[in-house]
């Protein structure tokens, strides 16, 4: 059954980027570079650490996510959000410093907490931007991503705080973002 959940997670991981790439092609997606740099870095690091430490098939979702995030990052460089605030800069700086700390951490619990903090903090610029421009983020992509990580959690062999925290944070942050963006769309349509 774990293999089934892993396969579903990979299929959904791929499907995550279909709506995002479609909106990029249409020119309606405006990804925030200060979110996509940490997300690309973290999924790349997660793949490498998992792959080199015997993660097996569980590592492939991170590779898939790293490649997809990297493509969105390249798009963000040329066509992404241009309005960068002080909050964006402070969040990005804190995220980069935390990534550096993460790379030198040898304790599994500290590593998973730092990874969760990094990924969640990287959402702040996207939340901030989406407060005023919620249509510039394809919420379907974030919804699928949340489901992808939920299935990845179901595929975990040994369920513990260390093995579940990061995945649970990814599920929660994606679901909360979808709710936030949909709510903001409704509020702005009603005003």
Q: Flag whether pLDDT at 25 surpasses 90.
A: yes
List helix spans (H) across the chain.
2-26, 33-52, 58-79, 86-103, 108-132, 139-154, 161-190
Each residue's pLDDT tens digit, 158-174: 778 888 888 899 999 99
Cβ proximity of 138 and 20 under 8 Å: yes
- What are the tens digits of pLDDT across the range 28-87? 999 999 999 999 998 888 888 777 766 666 677 888 999 999 999 999 999 999 999 999
- The model's pLDDT over 176-186, given as tens digits with 9 standing for 90+, comes to 999 999 999 99
State residue 56's pLDDT score.
63
pLDDT of 73 reads 97
Which tens digits make up the pLDDT trace of 102-161? 888 888 888 889 989 999 999 999 999 999 999 999 999 999 999 998 988 888 777 788
Nearest-angstrom CA–CA distance, 19 and 82: 22
């Amino acid at each position: 059954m774990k293999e089934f959940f892993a396969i579903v997670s990979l299929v959904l991981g791929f499907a995550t980027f279909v709506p995002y790439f479609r909106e990029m092609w249409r020119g309606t997606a405006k990804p925030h570079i200060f979110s996509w740099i940490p997300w690309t870095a973290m999924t790349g690091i997660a793949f490498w650490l998992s792959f080199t430490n015997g993660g097996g098939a569980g590592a492939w979702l991170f590779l898939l996510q790293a490649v997809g995030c990297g493509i969105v990052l390249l798009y963000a460089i040329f066509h992404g959000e241009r309005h960068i605030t002080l909050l964006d800069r402070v969040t990005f700086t804190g995220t980069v410093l935390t990534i550096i700390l993460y790379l030198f951490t040898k304790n599994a619990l500290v590593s998973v907490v730092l990874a969760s903090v990094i990924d969640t903090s990287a959402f702040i610029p996207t939340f901030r931007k989406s407060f005023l421009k919620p249509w510039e983020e394809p919420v379907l992509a974030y919804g699928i991503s949340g489901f992808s990580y939920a299935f990845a959690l179901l595929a975990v062999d040994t369920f513990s705080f260390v093995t579940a925290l990061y995945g649970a944070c990814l599920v929660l942050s994606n679901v909360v973002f979808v709710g936030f963006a949909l709510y903001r769309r409704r509020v702005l349509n009603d005003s």
